[in-house]
Amino acid sequence: MKTRSTFHVTAGVAMMALGLSGAQALADNHGPPDDVTNWVFQPCFDNTDAGWGSGVVPWIEAVEEATEGTVKIRLEPAGALTSGSEAFGATVGGQIDVTACWATVYGGDMPEGMLAFGMAMGAENTEQAWDAMWGDPDYRIGELVQQAAMERNLRWVGWTNQGPNAMFTKFRVDSLDDLKGKKMRAGGPQAIFHSTMGGSPVSMDAGDIYTAIRLGTIEGTYWDTGGINDMSFHEVVDYAIMPGWNPAQHQEIFVNLDAWNGLNDWQREQIDGIFEEVYFETSRMHDEGVADALKDLEDAGGEVIHLSDEEIARMREVSIKEVWPQVAEQSELTAKGVELWKAYLEEAGLY
């Protein structure tokens, strides 16, 4: 009660010092404004992606509710305003206000995003990812990602665990040695992992993957598990390899920093306030989608291969010693984050 009384006295003195107009401005900045802010949100994907209904739509609904309708968001699919590959840059430049994508798309523009996307054989689940990025004060790797985002005229405002980013193949994989020489569609951090394991990563647009697998141009793809049925990959692959190279692949939402700063303090606090709640809710939704997608694969005649504990430990060892240094060399902030991730896994008993 003493703290609360002191606050009210301090606020009252501040309003008297500011004068009537200043007091009104202070009050307006700590509550819903009279005007409505309209944002345009284009992800780097369309409504067929699992991230649409289980990621961006719940976030938009939560933002509009938390800001009491003073922030309205129009959602458009990739290609409506700019291509999916250009959505991140368009948000940096202010052509669109909000985007959602993965480090596989924007990694070259902001390599620190790989820390949030998920490290090769890093966090195993939603709780571990949150703990390392935001929950445990000894790590808070998310602050490095936020710093990098703001340096690029962005604000990181949303996050969701889409489940395992795994290998979906025409060939059987019981060991990481089975990836050697295999042509797989892989981008960004996926390509770093696949090439390190001796494979041949192939870059191509998402819309071309299905046909390329069917024709034998590539022998499989890396993809978020919950999205394989949306892309109909279960029709052309024979195997899903669990827990995947990244057991907890994440997707991020970014707002143009100028658009963010155009909100008042109350609106920004409200949006920051839903970050954790929406993270866990959308991650739960994605987890349900993972189970459904794997069932669709099995129903189509495919097989889910669960690597042995020994092979998982081996893949983590190789990833940390050979893949992570390649991520670390991308920037100083990324290098700091990689060291923190390593420390976190050691404390968690995973390495």
Q: Which 3-state string (H, E, C) describes 106-127?
A: HCCCCCCHHHHHCCCCCCCCHH
170-182, pLDDT tens digit by residue? 999 999 999 999 9
pTM comes to 0.88
What is 165-248+299-347's CATH topology?
D-Maltodextrin-Binding Protein; domain 2 (3.40.190)
**Domain extents in the chain:** 35-162+249-288, 165-248+299-347
For range 48-64, the mean pLDDT: 96
**Mean pLDDT rounded to a whole number for the chain:** 92
* pLDDT for res 267: 98
For residue 168, is pLDDT > 50?
A: yes
Q: How confident is the model at residue 19 (pLDDT cuts 50, 70, 90)?
A: low
For range 264-287, the mean pLDDT: 98
* pLDDT for res 205: 87
Per CATH, domain 35-162+249-288 is 3.40.50.2000? no
What percent of the chain lies above the pLDDT cut of 90? 87
For range 121-149, the mean pLDDT: 97
For range 95-115, the mean pLDDT: 95
* Cα–Cα dist 298/321, whole Å: 34
* Cα–Cα dist 116/109, whole Å: 14
Topology agreement, domain 35-162+249-288 and domain 165-248+299-347: yes
How deeply is 196 buried, as exposed, middle or buried, from its count of CB atoms within 10 A (0-12, 13-18, 19+)?
Answer: buried
